Amino acid sequence: MPDNRILLIHTGGTIGMVRSEDGFRPAQGVVEDELIRQRETGSAIPRTSLQSLSPLIDSANATPEDWNRITHTIQRHHAEYDGFVVTHGTDTLAFTAAALTMALEGLDKPVILTGSMLPLSEPNNDGRRNLYDALQVVGAAKPGVWVQFAGRLLHGARIRKTHSNSFDAFAAEPTDAPPRRPGRAGLVRHVYGAPDVAVLPVVPGGAGNLLLHAAQTCDGIVLRCFGSGTIPNTPHTDEALRIAAKRRVPVLAVSQCPEGGIALGTYAAGAILTRHHAVDGRDMTMEAAYVKMVLALSLGGTVTKHRQFLSDPLCGERSLPET
């Protein structure tokens, strides 16, 4: 492992923050100092270069353009390094992990995302361990996009944040599919645009006016359904889905439940979705569903092409259909 060459890409986030009058804020030098400390204390970490994005971001302010900045950095240095570690804020880490997994087609090296719930600048923080673990595992991990957090290596396209303040803040459903989008001709980087995508939960009574507004104005809709894929079968809901289909707005259905996913057609209360050509997201997380919708729309093409792209397993983000 010490012979491996690793690029550490620091994007910002809690791990590299310091205290200010307004609360924790990103600061240059925090992650750099920790990397120097680990080298000087004799930690068995690989040869690591560090590159910080400028400006650093609080991950709550992250956008698809920031996903593009990270993937551009990886693509530009892909041939120079054996692996990559990305430090990132925890609020949107699951979105970014899914975005990198889907955008880096043909990735043949490990990319490890990590962060912390408490900054490196604070005593008894979790950032020191998470950064050390990420630098350790990057030399042994299989190609793909992973998240190293609280002692666990998790699938980049299936991860979700499950706790707002615990050090053990992330979970991911297990899968045999690697967190990697297969490719045929080396690394191909896909670029995210800025389509207007709504993520809407259904609630008792339907919230039909919100869905109707999204159907009339948005480019894509991720619909968070009850249980295994049911929604209120109301005139408002039916009209909204009819308008979305007429405007060629793709609708991707996922479950509000953190585990198990959906299976459209199980209940009559979900028939309204299949009738209006909603895509069955099975057990995709909301984060992966949102990212995949943004990427589908960014690629252009017809709504038929979008629905097919959303339906097909891409990088382990959803279970394969039963045969």
In 3D space, the residue among 134, 180, 5 whose CA is nearest the CA of residue 80 turns out to be 5
d(CA 314, CA 179) in angstroms, rounded, equals: 9
d(CA 241, CA 208) in angstroms, rounded, equals: 10
* Cis-peptide into 250, omega within 30 deg: no
Please state, in angstroms and as integers, the Cα–Cα distance from residue 292 to each residue in 147, 176, 195, 287, following that order.
18, 20, 12, 9
Write down the catalytic residue from 14, 48, 101, 230: 14
d(CA 270, CA 105) in angstroms, rounded, equals: 34
Residue 41 designated active-site: no
Q: Give the start-end residues of each E strand in the chain.
A: 5-12, 17-18, 25-26, 47-57, 83-87, 104-105, 110-114, 144-149, 152-155, 159-161, 170-172, 188-189, 197-201, 220-225, 251-255, 279-280
Q: Are 31 and 50 in contact (CB under 8 A)?
A: yes
Q: Are 86 and 70 in contact (CB under 8 A)?
A: yes
Q: Give the start-end residues of each E strand in 226-290.
A: 251-255, 279-280
* Cβ-proximal residues to 116 (8 Å cutoff; 6+ apart), any chain: 13, 14, 15, 90, 125, 126, 127, 130, 131
Q: Are 262 and 256 in contact (CB under 8 A)?
A: no
What is the set of active-site residues?
Answer: 14
